[in-house]
Amino acid sequence: MKKTLLFLSCVALAWASCHSPEERAAMKASADSAAHGKIETTGPSEPAGDTAAAPKPDTATAVSAEPKVGPPVVTATETPAPKPEKLAGEGLIQKSDCLACHNVSKKIVGPAYKAVAAKYEANDANIEALAEKIINGGAGVWGAVPMSPHPALSKTDAKEMVKYILSLKK
């Protein structure tokens, strides 16, 4: 039992020392400012950097209008490329039941949206035909499983959905 407690204590100590006090303060400040727009601390806080002479808050909750900034934290993640302006059809698809059978990049029950975009050219005739297929349903083009009809969907909304899907063409 003593060996287990000693081992767990060593693991906890090693885990706690993974970040320097400055890194922990910077991460806490970043999380607090993201969550609240300001930094809230309870009780004494850890000094960030070499600020041992700075007063520590003694009150139950101290609120600072200006966030304390620690050293920058460097991460190894890439910044994603900015997305193009969201098309109306994307929002309509998110609100509908389309995602139960379709996905942007992989086949679920029906084809992936990118596969549809690769098969059809983005022209008025294809937009009209695919919007009709969404509203009336269909079968046979992508296999034996039929697509259920969506008669409550307006023709305008169906066309917006098709325009979004066809915009995914590489």
**CATH code, domain carrying 139:** 1.10.760.10
The better pLDDT of the pair 131, 87 is held by 131
Whether residues 52 and 108 share a domain: the answer is no
Q: Which residues contact 69 (CB under 8 A, 6 or more apart)?
A: 26, 29, 48
Q: What is the pLDDT of residue 92?
A: 93
Q: What is the pLDDT of residue 10?
A: 57
Whether residues 39 and 107 share a domain: the answer is no
Please report which confidence band the pLDDT of residue 143 belongs to, taking 50, 70 and 90 as the band edges. confident
| Domain-located, residue 3 | no
Whether residues 62 and 129 share a domain: the answer is no
Whether residues 38 and 65 share a domain: the answer is yes
| Domain-located, residue 10 | no
Whether residues 54 and 98 share a domain: the answer is no
Average pLDDT over residues 121-149: 93
Q: Closest Cα to residue 158, out of 143, 136, 142?
A: 136
The better pLDDT of the pair 43, 90 is held by 90
If one counts the domains in the chain, the total is: 2
At 131, which helix (H) or strand (E)?
helix 124-136
| Domain-located, residue 81 | no
Q: What is the pLDDT of residue 2?
A: 75
Average pLDDT over residues 61-89: 58
Q: What is the pLDDT of residue 14?
A: 52
Average pLDDT over residues 163-170: 90
The better pLDDT of the pair 104, 56 is held by 104
pTM of the predicted structure, to 2 decimals: 0.50
Q: Which of 29, 46, 73 is the last residue of a domain?
A: 73
Whether residues 111 and 157 share a domain: the answer is yes
Whether residues 53 and 108 share a domain: the answer is no
Whether residues 98 and 58 share a domain: the answer is no
Query: 95 is in which domain, residue-wise?
Result: 88-166
